[in-house]
Amino acid sequence: MKLSSPLLLFLAVGLSSAFVLSSPLPWPKLILTHSWPSSFCSIEHCESNISHWTLHGLWPSKGAFCNSSWHFNSSEIQDLLPDLKISWPDLENPFSTEFWKYEWHKHGTCAAKAVSLNSQHKYFSKALELYHKVDLNGILKKFNIIPSENYYTFAEIEKVIDTFYGFTSKIQCYHQSKNAEFQTLGQIEICFNPDFNLMDCEKQETLSKGAWYNPVAVDKTSGLSVCDQNTPVYYPPPL
């Protein structure tokens, strides 16, 4: 049977589209990163009375500063600014857009490899959407993990988060010194696949020979690393 030219063209287009759709992204995971303002500001010497977990960023698991020519333009996210100022504030410079600019240049331009995130508006709006859906603030409060002068065990915090979401999170702390009697809860990462379904995070930052190192353990903060399972955890009240 001889195929007509229109049918051949249709098949060619279909195969081409299938190839594009099946082309893998350069990153397999998105990391929704939450910051506890009291902990951050105790290290970075800023002032904040914010009493909720804030967004630190939406980070592809591979890549950084993927397109230096794609400049941040706050006019593209004007409708998101009221939510950004509350959910994703710049804790050091509350009236500045520099933090969002930094996050876009470092992480957003890499996330934009996905069609679903290929504009500034898509990137920031999706991060906000995931932040509200995850509702880390509400979950911790629901299970009575609240800021306190008393210490928690790491297992108490980890069990609440991982049991509720059904996937492994990455919980990070500030460590005052090697033999300190406590560690300070600072950052919690919740991970998604490229289709925005929850998936396990890596518990440790690893670096193998020839492998790309994921620099998300410390991003515009200092001293954060995965919490030690045997050291009490301090979840500081708002400053």
List 103, 158, 175, 189, catalytic entry: 103
- Assign residue 88 the CATH number of its domain: 3.90.730.10
Average pLDDT of the residues in 126-143: 98
Residue 77 CA to residue 123 CA, distance in Å, equals 10
Instruction: Give a yes or no: residue 164 inside a domain.
Output: yes
pTM score: 0.84
Query: What residues are paired with 173 via a beta bridge?
Result: 185, 225
Percent with pLDDT over 70 in the chain: 82
The predicted structure's pLDDT at residue 80: 98
- Residue 231: which domain range? 30-200+222-235
**Structural domains of the chain, count:** 1
Residue 196 phi/psi, 5-degree rounding, is 65, 30
Give the single-character DSSP code of 115: G
Instruction: Give a yes or no: residue 175 inside a domain.
Output: yes
List 44, 45, 47, 56, catalytic entry: 56
Place of tokens 């379904």: 197
Instruction: Give a yes or no: residue 15 inside a domain.
Output: no
**Which is higher by pLDDT, 208 or 63?**
63
pLDDT interval class at 96 (50, 70, 90)? very high
Instruction: Give a yes or no: residue 95 inside a domain.
Output: yes
pLDDT tens per residue across span 69-83: 999 999 999 999 999
List 105, 107, 158, 189, catalytic entry: 107
Please indicate whether residue 103 is annotated as part of the active site.
yes
**Of the candidates 81, 89, 80, which has an alpha carbon nearest to the alpha carbon of residue 48?**
89
Give the single-character DSSP code of 152: B
